[in-house]
Structure 1
Amino acid sequence: MNTDLSFITNEENQSLKKRFEVLIKDASFFDCLVGYFYSSGFHAIYPSLENTVKIRILIGISTSRQTFEMMGKANKPTQQAFDFSHAEAKQEVENLVQNEMAESEDNRNVESGVHKFIEWIRNSKLEIRAYPSQNIHAKLYIMTFKEGDRDTGRVITGSSNFTQAGLVDNIEFNVELKNRSDYDFAKDKFEELWRNAVDVSEKYVRTIQDKTWLTQNITPYQMYLKFLYEYFKDELSQTDEVFIKYLPQEFKKLEYQEQAVLNAKKILLEYGGVFISDVVGLGKTYISAMLAGQLDGRTLIIAPPVLLE
């Protein structure tokens, strides 16, 4: 199979990830300029970067919706440059990292990739900066080979962001440039942008370690809350309502009783039966009656005579 393709579309087993695996293993330096970078997808290629001396990642910072609306109200052209301060750029990166990790898969591959990312930041192998302007929207990857290799380096540019989707899943359109003049132009432009960017490496590490699910500072109480959420998350997301046709006068609707009805109905439909049991006075009779009202078909009630009086 020919692995030296000029165009890379992620089709027919010719993904950008696979092309990176071929090129990066021989690269001393790897620079990338992207609009979106997801560190939780970093595990997709980091094994190929083990022998790389230096990795630099430059990301664009987009304006928030609020900023965009403010610019519109001021009748400013939407293409006009809007620069964040260094503090604002770092805060925006913190928000992006938190949102990314909140939506990422909770698995060992993601965790190992993020830990490797942090390890390389700590030992200065990897550096990440943010360009404080919304106008940057490039996707550029520069690989500089070891001295004496086939040539100075290669450039890949196109539609792929440095994400799992951009590297593998999406149909993309990228081109590999091999001419020295293309490499020199891309490298010079990257260096220019890099000099004007904000170092967010430490902000990234602190955000991961203090404000995401990868933090090591978890109290027993927080662990308990997490357990409760995982155990009851299906019930918490229920949107059904309890339909009640007949109610006694002055009946007081209680949320915990309605929740019990919904849970009992779920168990009944799944297993074909349900027990409703609790201490005296919490409304088991009402809960049972309301549950019967949610079900189709005839209802048989077996009760002590005192309830019929």
Structure 2
Amino acid sequence: MNTDLTFLTNEPNQTLKDRFHVLVKDARFFDVLVGYFFASGFSAIYPALENTEKIRILVGIGTDRQMYERFTEARQERQMELLLSHAEAKQVIEEQVAQELEDSPDNQSVEQGVLKFIEWIRSGKLEIRAYPSQNIHAKVYIVTFKEDERDLGRVITGSSNLTQTGLVDNLEFNVELKNSADYRFAREKFEQLWKDGVELSEKYLQTIETRTWLSADILPYHLYLKLLYEYFKDELNRTEDIFANYLPEGFLKLEYQQQAVLNAKKILEEYGFNQ
């Protein structure tokens, strides 16, 4: 496998995730400027960041488009400038974090990544800020090497956000810049934006610990409900499709009858029709 690529497309042996695992495993600093940041992306690369001294992630506030438009409309009605306040930016990010973790896969990899995320925020190794005055559309990753390395660092920029799809799944187009002048320019611009960013690290912690499945306050009853949902969710989602196709005209869709049909169908599919 060639580990010294210029273009990264997520095709075989060219994933951005693999390149990060090569570049950042011995890096001193890792700075990220993206519009979208999801736990799935962090979970994919955090093992390579164990020895990194400092990680800074600067995100845009437009990650939840519906929420952003609500704030925009409200400010237009008040005839105020279309800039989100720090409090509004934090609320947008809070909604995004809660929704993203709700939709994320319930697997050990994601859970371990989020727990490491929490650990590093508490230790100060990881900081997160949002840039409230513009909707950031950039995707820039700045790797600063240790002083004894052969050069200052690298910059990767292109189409990939810090998500599982951006790092691995989607066909993307990213370029790695190795020139020291490009590194200095990107680092200087990042510092300018970072200085004006809204601090979000504590908001991330608060949201994860109070509004997601990682909350310490989850009761056994809630876990039981989650178990039931996961077990029956396929049947719940298939109800409308089944009865739309097979229910005779004029018949009522009674809930207990629907459930009986679904159970019968499940038994037949599992054990066969020739018993």
TM-score in terms of structure 1 length: 0.76
* 1:36-82 CA-partner distances (Å, limit 9, x unpaired): 1112331211111111100000111117336548868999xxxxx84
- Pairing 1:1-309 to 2, within 5 Å after superposition: 1-62=1-62, 64-65=65-66, 68=69, 82-237=82-237, 238-239=239-240, 240-241=242-243, 243=247, 255-268=255-268, 270-271=270-271
How far apart, in 2, do the equivalents of 1:74 and 1:91 lie?
15
How far apart, in 2, do the equivalents of 1:98 and 1:67 lie?
16
Return the offset for 1:163.
1.1
Secondary structure of the residue aligned to 1:41 is helix
How far apart, in 2, do the equivalents of 1:106 and 1:24 lie?
27
How far apart, in 1, do the equivalents of 2:190 and 2:149 lie?
22
Could you tell me which amino acid in structure 1 is paired with residue 66 of structure 2?
Answer: R
* 1:208-234 CA-partner distances (Å, limit 9, x unpaired): 111111222111322232233234333
How far apart, in 2, do the equivalents of 1:40 and 1:2 lie?
25
Tell me which of the two structures has the higher relative contact order, counting C-alpha pairs closer than 8 angstroms and 6 or more residues apart: 2
Secondary structure of the residue aligned to 1:136 is coil
How far apart, in 2, do the equivalents of 1:253 and 1:14 lie?
52
Asked if structure 2 preserves the Cα contact closer than 8 Å seen for 1:82 and 1:134, the reply is no
Could you tell me which amino acid in structure 2 is paired with residue 127 of structure 1?
Answer: E
Distance 1:223 1:70, change over 3 A: closer
How far apart, in 2, do the equivalents of 1:49 and 1:136 lie?
24
Distance 1:22 1:258, change over 3 A: closer
Asked if structure 1 preserves the Cα contact closer than 8 Å seen for 2:68 and 2:92, the reply is no
Could you tell me which amino acid in structure 1 is paired with residue 116 of structure 2?
Answer: K
Distance 1:214 1:246, change over 3 A: closer
* 1:236-279 CA-partner distances (Å, limit 9, x unpaired): 331133846899xxxx9854345334433543465467xxxxxx
Distance 1:199 1:258, change over 3 A: same
How far apart, in 1, do the equivalents of 2:113 and 2:216 lie?
16
Could you tell me which amino acid in structure 1 is paired with residue 233 of structure 2?
Answer: K
Identity of aligned residues (%): 64
Correspondence for 1:289: none
Distance 1:68 1:254, change over 3 A: closer
Secondary structure of the residue aligned to 2:59 is strand
How large is the Cα RMSD of the aligned pairs? 2.9
TM-score in terms of structure 2 length: 0.85
Distance 1:11 1:91, change over 3 A: same
Could you tell me which amino acid in structure 2 is paired with residue 23 of structure 1?
Answer: L
Could you tell me which amino acid in structure 2 is paired with residue 187 of structure 1?
Answer: R
- Which structure has the larger Rg over C-alpha atoms? 1
Number of aligned residue pairs: give it.
Answer: 265
Correspondence for 1:78: none
Asked if structure 1 preserves the Cα contact closer than 8 Å seen for 2:75 and 2:82, the reply is no
How far apart, in 2, do the equivalents of 1:210 and 1:64 lie?
23
